Amino acid sequence: MEKNIYLNIFKVTEPQLQTLAATALAHGGDYCDLYFEHTTFFNLLLKDGVVSSGGFHTDFGAGIRVLKGEKTGYAYSENTEMADMLKAAEAAAAIAAGTSGAGRSYARVADRKADLYPMKENWRDKGADAFLSFMKELETAVFAKDSRIVKVIVRLSDSVSDVMMYNSLGELTYETRPMGSVTVTAVFQQNGKTENRSASRSFRMGAELIGPGLLNELAEDAVKGIDERFGAIRPKGGQMNVVMGAGASGILLHEAMGHAFEADFNRKGQSIFSDRMGQQVCPKGISVVDDGTVAFNRGAGNYDDEGVPGEKTYMIQDGVLCSYLHDRISASWYGTKPTGNGRRENFRYNPIPRMRATYMESGNADPEGIISSVKNGIYVDEFSNGQVKIGEGDFTFFVKSGFLIENGRLTAPVKDINIIGNGPQALADIVAVGNDLKIDNGTWTCGKEQSVPVSCGMPTVLISSLTVGGE
């Protein structure tokens, strides 16, 4: 859409944007930006064939940020009336005032006209009946997959956000961001035991997401591996080889390593990688990426929430730490360019450095060959409930599903175990990377101070030694 459409959505003119920026800088700020947002949210929950809950709401407003030296002033208005926005600008200016010492410089960034997630069907044009029909069809399809299923729960949510950003450098950017998410949970009973499995998909895509392809994919995924779950054992623990399966195990990469590459943690000396830029941090041939340019991906962004175009950023390339993930503040501090990672939950929040789609690039090893090379170990394909200490790099993750590896073969399924390790050490202990990178398109949400949508991925990876907490 053209610029004037967004100006009309928020009922402002370019001269008014300039006035707001001037007001925000009235106390001598180094830089200011304005973030406008109009978001509509819709959700439905289907239980036992009937709608259990649902809702629709609209979020609308503008946030104003002022940067002066090391201080940040932030205020927002839940409307775009000029008088109220001027008050917010004055408040942000007053909060940032009083800083002594040298200011910081902020440079314009190169624009990129792109649309990574064009909508064929706008969610706003669809009614609840269309979604409910799909959800009931999905419920029926899941029930038909396995006679042990006693309950199916289906969740559908969508949002469409119109955003516009303006700053004191004169940059004006705007876009529309769609998001659609579907989750189905099946509850199984067998011989007095209960197990459940969830499958989800989430994309920056319009209502064209809802169709037979998604329905069949979710129904298949909802029953995948359930026999193994009923037969799973809790193995003996200890130090052992661990093979990370391709796809969802990328959450370990996100939590245990990705956060440590976010520039705010490093700027403040809180990350284990704060003094390791340019150093070899894992074996040659390994590259770790944060990518905002994967079309329709949950973590994709034409722009971040500072108006910086999304990009593909190599944090590790050929084993060497080569970049942190920057917003404008950290980029100014380090004397580099922002990487398009300044993100916020909504207009009520400051942007901070956040990941988008974080993954390790494929290597050249055959996944089956990786497994066959392990005499005794654990294969893990799904994690949950991770805990990470950014400063030390220590992590613990609960294993949702996996297998013992015995003499190069997957044998007994396992459950109720933890994987314990240290992020930098785990990186250093990688001995093989598969050629099968898979991006997991589940409903991943990162909760660092604020909630933002992300995604993750991983090829099959062998780590020589991690602690497995079992019997």
pLDDT in tens for each of the 471 residues of the chain? 689 999 999 999 999 999 999 999 999 999 999 999 999 999 999 998 999 999 999 999 999 999 999 899 999 999 999 999 999 999 999 999 976 666 899 999 998 878 999 999 999 999 888 899 999 999 999 999 999 999 999 999 999 999 999 999 999 999 999 999 999 999 999 999 999 999 999 999 999 999 999 999 999 999 999 999 999 999 888 999 999 999 999 998 998 889 999 999 999 999 999 999 999 999 999 999 999 999 999 999 999 999 999 999 999 999 999 999 999 999 999 999 999 999 999 999 999 999 999 999 999 999 999 999 999 999 999 887 778 888 888 999 999 899 999 999 999 999 889 999 999 999 999 999 999 999 999 999 999 989 999 999 999 999 999 999 877
Q: Tell me if 248 is assigned to some domain.
A: yes
Is 152 part of a structural domain of the chain?
A: yes
Does a structural domain hold residue 319? yes
- Angle ∠(326,327,333) on CA atoms, nearest 5: 75
Integer Cα distance of 249 and 399 in angstroms: 10
pLDDT of residue 403: 96
Spatial CA neighbour of 248 closest among 420, 93, 56, 454:
454
CATH code where residue 185 lies: 3.30.160
Residue 333: HSE in the Cβ half-sphere, 13 Å Cα cutoff: 18
Beta strands 452-453 and 445-446: pairing type?
A: antiparallel
pLDDT number for residue 286: 97
pTM summary value = 0.95
Whether 412 is covered by a domain: the verdict is: yes
6/233 Cα distance (integer angstroms) = 56
Do 203 and 317 fall into the same domain?
no
**Model pLDDT, residue 101:** 61
| Structural domain for 325, as ranges | 238-469
Q: Which of 196, 230, 264 is the last residue of a domain?
A: 230
357-360 and 193-203: which strand pairing?
A: unpaired
**Beta strands 238-244 and 376-388, pairing class:** parallel
Q: How far is CA 125 from CA 42, 131, 166, 208, in A?
A: 12, 12, 29, 12
Residues 252 and 335 in one domain: yes
pLDDT at position 1: 60
Longest dimension (CA), the chain: 72
Distances (CA, A) of 312 to 61, 290, 394: 30, 6, 27
Does 205 share its domain with 151? yes
Domain's final residue, options 168, 196, 230: 230
Identify whether residues 348 and 282 lie together within a single domain. yes
Q: Kindly state whether residues 212 and 302 are assigned to the same domain.
A: no
Report the number of distinct structural domains present in the chain. Answer: 2
* Statement to judge: residues 208 and 333 lie in one domain: no
Q: Given this model, what pLDDT does residue 60 score?
A: 98
